Amino acid sequence: YSICKPLRELKNPGASGSLFYLTSDDEFILKTVQKKEAEFLKCLLPGYYMNVTQNPRTLLPKFFGLYCYQGDNKNIRITVMNNLIPSYLQMHETYDLKGSTYRRRANSAERRKDSPTWKDLDFMERHPDGLLLDVETYNALAKTVQRDCRVSLMKGKKTERILIHILGT
Q: CA–CA separation, 122 vs 95, rounded Å?
A: 8
- The CATH number assigned to the domain holding 57 equals 3.30.800.10
Are 7 and 67 part of one and the same domain? Answer: yes
Residues in contact with 123: Cβ distance below 8 Å, sequence separation at least 6, in sequence order: 95, 97, 164
Residue 107, domain CATH: 3.30.810.10
Domain span holding position 156: 89-169
Same-domain check for residues 55 and 126: no
d(CA 151, CA 47): 6
pLDDT tens digits for range 85-130: 877 777 788 888 888 889 899 999 989 988 888 999 999 999 999 8
Instruction: Answer yes or no: do 33 and 95 share one domain.
Output: no
Positive or negative, the Cα torsion across 131, 156, 65, 7? positive
pLDDT attached to residue 153: 64
- Can you give the pLDDT at residue 104? 92
Same-domain pairing of 9 and 79: yes
Using CA atoms, how far apart are residues 36 and 18, in angstroms rounded to an integer? Answer: 13
- In this structure, the answer to whether residues 1 and 81 fall within a common structural domain is yes
Confidence label for 167 from pLDDT (cuts 50, 70 and 90): confident
- Looking at the structure, tell me whether residues 24 and 4 fall in a common domain: yes
The pLDDT, as a whole number, for residue 168 is 65
Q: How many CB atoms lie within 10 A of CB 30?
A: 20
Q: Which of 48, 67, 87 is the last residue of a domain?
A: 87
How is 96-127 classified by DSSP, letter by letter?
EE-S--TT-S--HHHHTSSS-EE-HHHHHHH-
Domain count, the chain: 2
What's the confidence (pLDDT) of residue 17?
80
**12 and 74 housed in the same domain:** yes
Q: Are 46 and 57 members of one domain? A: yes
Tell me the whole-structure pTM to 2 decimals: 0.74
Write down the pLDDT at residue 133.
92
Summarised one tens digit per residue, pLDDT across range 18-72 is 899 999 998 999 999 999 989 988 888 887 888 888 888 888 888 888 999 998 8
Q: Quick one: 93 and 146 in the same domain? A: yes
Q: How does residue 80 score in pLDDT terms, banded at 50, 70 and 90? A: very high
Same domain, yes or no, for 81 and 128?
no
Q: Answer with the one of 72, 87, 102 that is the final residue of a domain.
A: 87
Q: Which of 45, 71, 87 marks a domain boundary? A: 87
Residues 99 and 54 in one domain: no
Model confidence pLDDT, tens digit, residues 134-162: 999 999 999 988 888 777 666 565 556 77
